[in-house]
Amino acid sequence: MPRFKVTFADGTFKTVTAPSRCDAIEKALALRALAEPLAAGERERRTARSTGTPVVLIDARHHADFREDEGGRWVTLCEAHGEFVQHSTLAAARSWLSSPEQWCSACGRAHP
């Protein structure tokens, strides 16, 4: 599998192994996102194995961008594409983290 050097706008870079340049960029962004500290309201951040995209579990009570009354306290967010789903329980939200291709349309198109 080929290796790609992905350079970010701030001049930093990551070298990653991936089947294509597009996959390498997605993987590098996911690795970079995992290295950042959790923001207010974020409970968990990881890379979904099925798609390689960064996903975040958010508590809507402590995050300025989400409202609990709009669908549930817990939010599953695809950080790569900005799509999210709200859940009423933490267990449900955690279970959705592993398969963003089922709820994020961009992930679903890229990983049918």
- Which pLDDT score is estimated for 45? 87
* Residue 33 pLDDT: 66
Find the farthest-apart pair of alpha carbons in the chain and give their distance in angstroms, rounded: 46
Mean pLDDT of 4-16: 74
Q: Taking the CA atoms of 58, 62, 67 and 73 in sequence, report the sign of the dihedral they define.
A: positive
Measured distance CA(78)–CA(89) in Å, rounded: 18
- 51-61 pLDDT, tens digit each: 888 899 999 88
Q: Which residues, at least 6 apart from 72, have a Cβ–Cβ distance to it below 8 Å?
A: 60, 86, 87, 88, 89, 93
CA angle 61, 83, 50 (to 5 degrees): 110
Residues in the chain: 112
Domain ranges within the chain, ordered by starting residue? 1-36, 38-112
Distance CA 97, CA 87 (A): 12
Whether this model's pTM surpasses 0.85:
no
